[in-house]
């Protein structure tokens, strides 16, 4: 290689490295609050008696004796009285340090969550003390028999929903109602302010039925038979769902790549794994045909949350499936918040990633965090980080889904708390 060619190659390499580096922006910890892992609320008085205790089926068999077995990861004894306030899987900032937070299906899957009640909470953060107050808990229920399939509490009067019915992972307030994105169907669910189901909408944009293996209308095939009609992965339905600034459109985003039955493979565009982002018209309760694609950095990654923050600009969490930063074999490495613009996509509809912050490298020069800071750097090493939203023009909130009682990302052997952090990301939010 000639000297001139070598210099040119070095210049290109330096330019490429510089361009890549400019896409990352600093995040500085402004405040930290946490809700202890073992936080419970009682089941409503009109709920079936069986919902007064939860976690009976988490060991792989029925355990009716309170605290009859211990979770091997955290040592937490189960089942326990009441319903755990955990699994934060969707957030919206309501102003005045108040937040809407959604609890997911319970203990991780349909089989073990039939005694976990579905709920969302309005919470108030005291950033000075780091404490979290629960202002209101709303349990989801279907007294008017709107849900199109049998539910766990089918023959009760109150018909509360459980984690064997839906897996709610995203929530948006629209007027006095709430729209919830589910992973099992995937379904969109509209509820009123009291959690009463108003409608359940199947996913079929462009006439294509989206169904996961957990969809209630998918039949288990006979031995050796080919499964057809399943095109979203298990736990691959709606993980994030943003709404337009005017509240007229929802943007549900799949957690995992769509399965292309014709190609017999997970969906790729230009060789890169992508996630489908759909459009839903709220007023007409109907699907638009437009599909955008969010490109993953790695096929093993998943998204955690998605919210529009300004015009068509939004925040998306992308993460790996590992946890912990204490030297364990599969330690957390990739936990990022990306900035995207729905109007900035290529000819295939693949969104451009404008910038990102690294949740494993948060600046904490003042030592604000009670745990997790070393040499001025705070980490958020949780396997599932599923909450991000704008709080003010320079600040975002991020929170984890603690998968109670199984995740131990902050400390091996100790169940993760629900942690909420405010990050100063002024420059990141201005990125073009």
Q: Dump pLDDT digits (tens) for 159-212.
A: 999 999 999 999 999 999 999 999 999 999 999 999 999 999 999 999 999 999
The tokens for 180 are: 């919830």
123-161 exposure pattern, b = at least 16 Cβ within 10 A, e = fewer? bbbebeebebeeeebbbbbbeeeebeeebbbeebeebbb
Cα–chain center distance at 368: 25
- Please provide the average confidence, as pLDDT, over all residues in the chain: 93
Mean pLDDT check: name the lowest of 125-139, 176-190, 216-230. Answer: 216-230
**Rounded CA separation 381/359 (Å):** 8
| 226 band by pLDDT with thresholds 50, 70 and 90 | low
Structure tokens at 102: 């959604």
Burial (CB count within 10 angstroms: exposed 0-12, middle 13-18, buried 19+), residue 374: exposed
* pLDDT of res. 346: 96
Assess whether pLDDT exceeds 90 at residue 397.
yes
Q: Looking at residue 332, what is its pLDDT? A: 97
Pairing of strands 292-295, 265-266: unpaired
pLDDT band at 6 (very low <50, low <70, confident <90, very high): very low
272 Cβ partners below 8 Å, 6+ apart? 295, 296, 350
Alpha-helical regions (H) of 90-203: none
**CB half-sphere exposure, 358, CA atoms < 13 A:** 16
- pLDDT of 306 over the 90 cut: yes
| pLDDT category of residue 228 using cuts at 50, 70 and 90 | confident
* pLDDT at residue 157, rounded to an integer: 97
**Confidence band of 236 (pLDDT split at 50, 70, 90):** confident
In whole angstroms, give the CA distance from residue 56 to residue 61.
Answer: 8
Q: Which two tokens stand for residue 375?
A: 């040499």
Q: Which residue has the tokens 């990654």?
A: 301
CATH, domain range 24-429: 2.115.10
DSSP symbol at 234: T
Q: Check whether 7 has a pLDDT greater than 70.
A: no
Give the chain's radius of gyration (CA, Å). 22
Among 133-142, 191-200, 230-239, the minimum mean pLDDT is found in 230-239
Per the model's pLDDT, the better-predicted residue between 2 and 132 turns out to be 132
Helix (H, G, I), strand (E, B) or coil at 320: coil
pLDDT bin (cut points 50, 70, 90) of residue 229 is confident
Average confidence (pLDDT) over 376-395: 98
For residues 165, 167, 172, 173, the Cα torsion angle rounded to the nearest 10 degrees is 40
Domain limits, the chain: 24-429
3-class state of residue 246 by DSSP: coil
């Amino acid at each position: 290689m000639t000297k001139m060619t070598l210099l040119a190659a070095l210049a290109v390499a330096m330019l490429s490295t510089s361009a890549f580096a400019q896409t990352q922006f600093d995040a500085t910890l402004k405040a930290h609050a946490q809700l202890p892992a073992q936080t419970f609320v009682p089941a409503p008085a009109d709920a079936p008696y069986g919902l007064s205790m939860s976690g009976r089926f988490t060991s792989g068999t029925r355990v009716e004796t309170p605290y009859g077995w211990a979770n091997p990861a955290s040592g937490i004894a189960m089942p326990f009285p009441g319903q755990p306030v955990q699994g934060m899987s969707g957030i919206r900032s309501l102003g005045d340090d108040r937040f809407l937070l959604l609890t997911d299906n319970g203990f991780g899957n349909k089989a073990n969550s039939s005694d976990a009640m579905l709920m969302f909470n309005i919470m108030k953060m005291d950033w000075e003390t780091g404490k979290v107050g629960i202002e209101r808990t709303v349990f989801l229920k279907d007294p008017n028999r709107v849900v199109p399939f049998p539910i766990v509490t089918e023959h009760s009067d109150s018909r509360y929903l459980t984690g064997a019915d839906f897996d709610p992972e995203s929530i948006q307030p629209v007027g006095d109602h709430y729209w919830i994105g589910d992973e099992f169907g995937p379904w969109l669910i509209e509820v009123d302010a009291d959690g009463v189901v108003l409608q359940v909408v199947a996913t079929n944009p462009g006439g294509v039925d989206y169904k996961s293996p957990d969809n209630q209308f998918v039949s288990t095939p006979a031995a050796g038979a080919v499964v057809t009609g399943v095109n979203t992965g298990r736990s691959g339905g709606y993980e994030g769902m943003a709404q337009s600034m005017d509240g007229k459109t929802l943007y549900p985003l799949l957690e995992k790549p769509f399965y292309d039955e014709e190609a017999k493979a997970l969906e790729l565009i230009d060789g890169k794994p992508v996630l489908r982002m759909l459009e839903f018209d709220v007023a007409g309760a109907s699907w638009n045909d437009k599909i955008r694609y969010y490109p993953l950095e790695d096929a093993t990654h998943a998204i955690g949350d998605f919210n529009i923050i300004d015009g068509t600009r939004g925040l998306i969490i992308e993460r790996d499936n590992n946890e912990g930063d204490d030297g364990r074999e599969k330690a957390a490495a990739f936990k990022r918040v990306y900035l995207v613009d729905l109007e900035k996509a290529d000819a295939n509809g693949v969104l451009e990633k404008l910038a990102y912050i690294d949740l494993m490298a948060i600046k904490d020069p003042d030592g604000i965090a009670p745990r997790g800071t070393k040499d001025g750097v705070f980490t958020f090493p949780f396997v599932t980080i599923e909450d991000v939203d704008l709080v003010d023009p320079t600040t975002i909130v991020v929170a984890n889904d603690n998968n109670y009682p199984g995740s131990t990302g902050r400390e091996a052997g100790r169940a993760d708390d629900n942690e909420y952090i405010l990050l100063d990301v002024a420059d990141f939010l201005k990125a073009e």
